[in-house]
Amino acid sequence: MKAKLIVGIGALASAVGWAAAIVVLSAHTLLKPAPEVRFHPLSGATFSTSDLRGKVVLVNFWGSYCTPCVKEMPKIVAAHEKFASRGYETVAVAVRHDNPHRVAAFAAKRGLPFRITLDSSGEAAKEFGNVRITPTSFLIDRQGRVLRRYVGEHDWAALYEIVERELAR
């Protein structure tokens, strides 16, 4: 019985060690440079991910026809309004299949306070890892590294904690 217990404890310790190693590796893989993408905003003046260096950035791929995207938009607005004065930027990327006129109407009706861009070619979605599900968001640090990828609804309290930490750096 004692031998089985010792073997069991050893196996558990090994499993915990591997799990910890996987978590550490996952954290490192998220700190990769954001792709160099040229954004095409409704306002007309293009900009790129490298132009956003020095800010903490949320890049949100969405569609005006996407119910979860529309549902989370007030939370994206709230985060932007809370942190923008401290160096936080939001880029809402309307996906390729969205209608530009519908996107513009959506943004105007809701008074969205951040940059709304169109990914008419699908190039931005491709460069960010072939985004196919909306909403998908990427949190990028001041050095231009992707900290987190969020698919679907995410934990806003956890996002706020990360943003607070990154803005304090």
Q: What global pTM score does this model have?
A: 0.81
Q: Are 67 and 129 contained in the same domain? A: yes
Q: Are 19 and 39 contained in the same domain? A: no
Q: Which whole-number Å values give the CA distances from 158 to 44, 53, 131, 132, 165, in the listed order?
A: 33, 22, 22, 24, 11
What is the domain count for the chain?
2
Q: Are 80 and 152 contained in the same domain? A: yes
Q: Are 47 and 1 contained in the same domain? A: no
Angle between helical axes of 67-83 and 100-110 (0-180°, round to 10): 50
* Distance spanning both ends of the chain, measured CA to CA: 53
State the CATH number of the domain containing residue 102. 3.40.30.10
Q: Are 26 and 37 contained in the same domain? A: no
Q: Are 19 and 78 contained in the same domain? A: no
Q: For position 160, what pLDDT does the model report? A: 97
Q: Are 11 and 81 contained in the same domain? A: no
The answer to whether 132 and 125 have CB atoms below 8 angstroms apart is yes
Q: Are 132 and 146 contained in the same domain? A: yes
Q: Are 25 and 68 contained in the same domain? A: no
| Containing structural domain, residue 3 | 1-30
Q: Are 55 and 72 contained in the same domain? A: yes
The answer to whether 115 and 81 have CB atoms below 8 angstroms apart is no
Q: Are 84 and 152 contained in the same domain? A: yes
Per-residue pLDDT of the chain (169 residues; tens, 9 = 90+): 555 444 444 444 444 343 333 333 222 335 799 999 999 999 889 999 999 999 999 999 999 999 999 999 999 999 999 999 999 999 999 999 999 999 999 999 999 999 999 999 999 999 999 999 999 999 999 999 999 999 998 899 999 999 999 999 9
Q: Are 122 and 111 contained in the same domain? A: yes
φ, ψ of residue 15 to 5 degrees: the values are -65, -45
Distance CA 92, CA 56 (A): 14
